[in-house]
Structure 1
Amino acid sequence: MKQVEILVIGGGPAGLCGAINAAKAGAKVLVLERNQELGGQLIKQTHMFFGSEKQHASTRGVDIATILFDEIEESKNIEILKNATVLSIYDDGVVTAEIDGKYTKIRAKRIIVSTGASEKTLAFPNNDLPGVYGAGAVQTLMNVHGVKPGDNVLMVGAGNIGLIVSYQLMQAGVNVKGILDAAPTIGGYLVHASKVRRMGVPIYTGYTVKEAYGKDYLEKATIIKLDENWQEIEGTEEDFDIDVLCISVGLSPLGELLWQANCEMRYVGMLGGFVPVRTENLETTVEGIFVAGDVCGVEEATSAMVEGYLAGLMAASSLGYEMIDFEERREDYLQQLKSLRSGHVGDKIRAGLDQVTIKTEAAAI
């Protein structure tokens, strides 16, 4: 059985930042990543980030990934195992995983779960035709493998992801015929919507997909307008000749391991689904299990990274490893998260967090 001080499950932005901070504090860290590459969503993101200098504002996601990779490589306290799928977290703290095809047991003193989220889908006739993709799959094809998913695309979802991926498709020479969203207004930032509108792409709000068509692959899709009760309005159909239908209708936190570990979970729609109850220090109701990133509730990658730093700091501290400026760092991370969730854009996130955050004396200082 492999013995580790801190086990990080998931090598995306939250997990990498958690590992970096825990290692800086002096703890020995093992990171398990199920894919063959680290970085999660960062290696797909060619757009520049918002936020402050601390959150790598004006830096592209792929470049932020490189910065984190360099820090990981320089650390003597971090071990990385890729192609490693965690199977279970047992009551006695033992974690099992399949690593390069071999069944492995790991006993960790502390665990940081940063498993991220999965894409939601949309129900309509023929939604399983080849050519119907999730936005994450399209980003992987284009930005990781350099493969165009098709020639003519209809984007479903006008949130930040849908708008950003639409722009990236156009940069790759793909014809984006339109963007639609069932909501009456655009969900993403107006700066992203303005970019695609300036390039002549129409945005249809209050519309959904009625049906997709094709024999062996996607050839056409019909959209239809919705009324104020989200019911289809007959006679408002529009057809699009396309070979790609890109679905970007949100994410669901991947909390299966937390359920298995008996962490208290609550359904909070504003955070994407079932999320763990935790302290402001990101420790769950099971002592020694911390969380960070989209598994806590779907937000931007900037928030995931800050949560990762906080979780790494607190997991290491719980083992007796404390940086000289521990209190300053902790307060700084909490303030960064507060800032990222401020304003009208963060209303839903703040309301959702109020339902799952346990106030502690340490967090109240």
Structure 2
Amino acid sequence: MNQLVIVGAGPAGLSAAIAAAKNGVNVTVIDEFMKPGGRLLGQLHEESNGIWWNGVDEATNLFNEAIEFHIQFQFETSVHHVKKHSNHWDIQTDKGMFKSQALLVATGAAEHSIPLPGWTLPGVMSIGAAQVMANVHHVKPGHHGIIIGINVLSIAIARELKLAGVQLESIVLPSCNLLNKEASQPGVVFQKLAKLAHLAPSPLFKMGGFLTNKLSFLEKLVVRSFPKNGLKAWGIPIQIRRAVIEILGEEKVEGVKVADITPSGVIMKGTEKIIDVDFVCIAGGLYPLTELIGVTACPFKFIPSLGGHVPVHNEQMQTPVEKLYVAGNITGIESAKVAKAQGKVAGLSVAHDLHYLQDHNAIDDAVQHVKKMRDHALIQFHPDINKGRNELNGASITN
């Protein structure tokens, strides 16, 4: 029997495995992909200090360290059920049953989609899929595309695609429907972008974001006067006053129909036009991938600033279910560095609960490191992340 099974070999899972194994815990990591790293494998961006964050290198370094501590890996293995017994967990996979004293779920996040006419055509994909194609498999998703959905994820990946030599027409909004009201509202989108002004690639963006954050009355004025053709970031037009009405094509993507929209997101009749593209990326944002932990007795709490429903847990990454732990984006959408730091906390908590941990200050130090990583994160997916974390940490944990 394993002492710890971790589901997910992303930054949280790998970091947790290393922390636990360093303290003598026998660890097995299960992941459905063919190699370790999770979302790290697609990440490539420049830090504020000018140093490039290369997710492939980060994943390789973590995996090599894990191998040094004799951690076992089961790749290309899907977990479809887990069951708690009095003194162990059964983890059912398509490669057989694993048994473990403790279970850590680090399954990460999935992408929301944005349904609109034509979205099932070949050539339409999530922004994350395009990122994986370009940065992991080194295959261009197409020659000339457009991104639907303006958020921190779409803008970050748009730059990665540009670095990969992919031509992007623009980043635009989806037309409004019942399922994407917030994502289609120029005012709401601009408000979120303004919170990220410190990441803007030009002084004009930075100054505009700074002023609107300080002087809220400017927000409506800026949205009303925002150029229809958008403002460019890394040469890519960001158009908060233009929306895609329909994706066009017979057997594959051949173009999109776009139209100008009012500050409240209403289509302006007579402004429709067709743009030729051969692929479309949809960026609806991320949500915690919680289906597996949903089959346990772990309770959930709905916290919008964390991405939706998240499993109840404390700062030590323990859930109310004995010997069940979580780490990474399943606990709320944040950066890979935060996920990595959370993984270390979870691994140390497992080692402590299994009576292996000798340094009793280690967990407290690791928890403080998580907070430091959060406060200094280059990208925050929601401006109220700390509020959400405080709300979640107020939940009662009884082991």
TM-score clears 0.5: yes
Would you say 1:96 and 2:91 are equivalent positions?
yes
* 3-state SS of 2:53 partner: coil
Shift of 1:228: 5.0
In 1, distance between residues paired with 2:63 and 2:350? 21
Q: Report if the CA contact (8 A) 2:29-2:74 is conserved.
A: yes
> How does 1:185-204 map onto structure 2 within 5 Å?
185=190, 187=193, 189-190=196-197, 193-194=200-201, 197=232, 199-204=234-239
Aligned partner of 2:18: which letter?
Answer: I
**Which segments of 5 or more consecutive residues in structure 2 lack a partner in the other structure?**
174-183, 203-230
Q: 2:98 maps to which residue?
A: 106
CA drift at 1:293:
0.6
Match of 1:135 in 2: 127
Structure 1 residue 225, shift from structure 2 partner = 4.3
Cα distance 1:135–1:361, how it changes in 2: closer, same or farther (>3 A)? Answer: closer
TM-score (norm 2): 0.80
2:68 to 58, 69, 74: 74
Q: 1:266: Cα distance to partner?
A: 1.6
Aligned residue pairs: how many? 350
- In the aligned structure 2, how far is the partner of 1:23 from the partner of 1:13? 15
Name 1:307's counterpart in structure 2.
342
Aligned to 1:21: 19
Label 1:221 to 1:278 Cα distance change in 2 as closer, same or farther (>3 A): same
Matches within 5 A, 1:153-302: 153-181=145-173, 182=184, 183-184=186-187, 185=190, 187=193, 189-190=196-197, 193-194=200-201, 197=232, 199-227=234-262, 229-302=264-337
Once the two structures are superposed, what CA deviation does each residue of 1:142-193 show, in whole Å capped at 9, x if it has no partner?
Answer: 1111111111111123323212221122222221111124343163844665
| Cα distance in 2 for residues equivalent to 1:132 and 1:177 | 15
Comparing 236-245 with 223-232, greater Cα deviation is found at: 223-232
SS in 1 for 2:66: helix
* Contact 2:255 2:274 (C-alpha < 8 Å) held by counterparts: yes
In structure 2, the residue matched to 1:335 is: 368
| Matching of residue 351 in structure 1 with residue 392 in structure 2 | no
Q: 1:322 aligns with which of 357, 362, 375?
A: 357
8 Å CA contact 2:254, 2:277 repeated in 1? yes
Q: Residue 311 of structure 1: SS of its match in structure 2? A: helix
1:233–1:330 distance in 2 versus 1, CA, 3 Å:
farther
1:30/1:49 CA distance change after superposition, 3 Å: farther
For 2:10, the equivalent position in structure 1 comes to 12
TM-aligned CA distance change 1:312 to 1:277, over 3 Å? same
Q: What's 1:34 paired with?
A: 32
The residue that corresponds to 1:54 in the other structure is: none
1:269 CA drift (Å): 1.8
CA displacement 1:240-299 (0-9 Å, x = unmatched): 211111112211211112110110012222211210111111111211111001111111
- Conserved in 1, the CA contact under 8 Å of 2:109 and 2:330? yes
Checking the alignment, whether the CA contact within 8 Å between 2:319 and 2:397 is kept in structure 1 is no
**Identical residues among aligned pairs (%):** 31
Q: Distance in 2 between matches of 1:246 and 1:192?
A: 22
Preserved contact between residue 82 and residue 92 of structure 2 (Cα < 8 Å)? no
- Measured after TM superposition, the shift of residue 237 of structure 1 is 3.5
**How big is the shift at 1:50?**
6.0
Relative distance call for 1:72 and 1:223 in structure 2 (3 A) is same
| Contact 2:146/2:169, CA 8 A, preserved across alignment | yes
Alpha-carbon RMSD: 2.6
Looking at structure 2, the residues matched to 208 and 282 of structure 1 have their Cα atoms a distance apart, in angstroms, of: 41
Structure 1 unaligned residues grouped into runs of 5+: 52-56
User: Cα–Cα, structure 1 residues 66 and 220, in superposed 2: closer, same or farther, change >3 Å?
Assistant: same
Does the aligned pair in 2 maintain the 1:115–1:254 contact within 8 Å? yes
Residues 159-168 or 231-240, more deviating: 231-240
Query: 1:60 maps to which residue?
Result: 54
CA distance 1:315–1:206, shift in 2 (3 Å): farther
* Alpha carbons of structure 1 residues 146 and 347: separation in structure 2 relative to 1, 3 Å: closer
Contact 2:16 2:344 in 1 (8 A): yes
Distance 2:260 2:318 in 1: 44
Matched letter for residue 370 of structure 2: L
Q: CA, structure 1 residues 199+278, in 2 after alignment: closer, same or farther (shift >3 Å)? A: closer
Q: Distance in 2 between matches of 1:8 and 1:361?
A: 21
Rounded to whole Å, the distance in 2 between the matches of 1:193 and 1:242 is 26
